[in-house]
Structure formats: C-alpha cells, structure tokens
Amino acid sequence: MMPPRAVLASSSPRRRELLTLIGIPHTVSPADIDETILPGEAPAPHAERLAREKAALVAERVAGEDGEALVIGADTIVVVDGDILGKPRDEASAAAMLRRLAGRSHTVFTAVAVARGDRLVSGVEAVDVTFRAMADEEIAAYIATGEPMDKAGAYGIQGYGATIVERIVGDYFAVMGLALGRLVRLLGDVGVEYRFGELHDIQHR
C-alpha cells in the first residue's frame, strides 16, 4: 500500500525544511487566506483558526486529485503584553518589535492542523522565549541582515536570531514554525502512523 501523500499548505521554507528533516516527502500548495484578527479573538484561538482554514482550503483544492491526501496547515504568532506581533511591514516596524522584545520574555503560539478526507484536527503549542537585552545599534545590524523581514515578531530562532535568544521553555521547532511532536500526534488522529521517516496508513489495515 502506498503511503499517504502529504501536502504543505504553506510556502514557508522553514516548514518545508522541518518536514524534510523528519523524512516526510511532501508537495507545497500555499493557502492564501485573510489573516485579520476577529474582534475579541484571543491569540491561541486566532492561530488555530488560521491553521485550520489553511488546511481546509488546500484540502478542498486537492480533493479531486487525492481525497486521502494529508494536508498540513500551520500558523505561528508572537505575543507580548497580549498583543500579536505579525511580520514587520518595514524596517521601522521591525525595529519597534525588536526593541519591545529585547531583554524580556514573550510567547510564541504555533498552531498545526491536519486535514484528511472529511476530518480536520488541530492543536496549539505555546512556547516561552526570552531575549537578552539589545542596544539600538545591534537591532539595526540584525535588521540589516534581512532575516527579520519575513518572520512573525521580526526574528528567526534558527538563524542569526539564535544569538539573541537567552532561553526557551517548550518546543523549539514550534518557534521555527512547525511543532513536530504535535504534528505526529495529529497524524495519528487521522489514521496515519509516523515511524521515523515513514508514513503508514493505519485506517485501511
């Protein structure tokens, strides 16, 4: 029996790298959705809703080709003082975000959703991240690398940003953008067993 086909509902290179890291072959079909926060929507439910919408949209798109495809959606947000920090609009907004995060802790929420057939399951990982203090000159130098500009909260923990993180409590890979342990558990919920680089369809055994 052929293993289930995996489709990543994201163009994020970090998420693609992480799926490759754990040996899950996949194709990419980005989901273009409205990511506006709903009135009164809390951070974790917001991230989970977006992950579910991405997975559902792409699952509908690929259903005609493969109704049993595994569609993986994810959303990562950075939250400080109850405010959601998205991707910076420009260098000035990146600098404002980094000044706000420097020398203190914030929370990263990464939601993961898996759609397969008529099933859609999801969950959220919360990770506490602490930055060391940074002077304005150092913030400017980090922004000049270009790394902060396409990332929530204006930093990437897997790049130069690793040098400004003092401590994390939780799933490191969730901070990168895809909570791998959570993903494996969700795969099981839709009838797929992950076994160290291999996917096995357990619902049709």
Catalytic residue flag (residue 75): yes
1 belongs to a structural domain: no
* Mean pLDDT value of segment 50-79: 94
Domain that holds residue 34: 6-201
Residue 1: band (very low, low, confident or very high) from pLDDT cuts 50, 70, 90: low
CATH number of the domain encompassing residue 74: 3.90.950.10
194 belongs to a structural domain: yes
Q: Other C-beta atoms within 10 Å of 104: how many?
A: 13
From 34, 75, 90, 189, the catalytic residue:
75
What are the start-end ranges of the E strands in the chain? Answer: 6-8, 26-28, 70-80, 83-85, 105-116, 119-131, 165-169, 192-194, 199-201
13 belongs to a structural domain: yes
73 belongs to a structural domain: yes
pTM value is 0.94
Looking at residue 64, its pLDDT comes to 81
* Count: domains in the chain: 1
Looking at residue 205, its pLDDT comes to 54
**DSSP classification of residue 32:** -
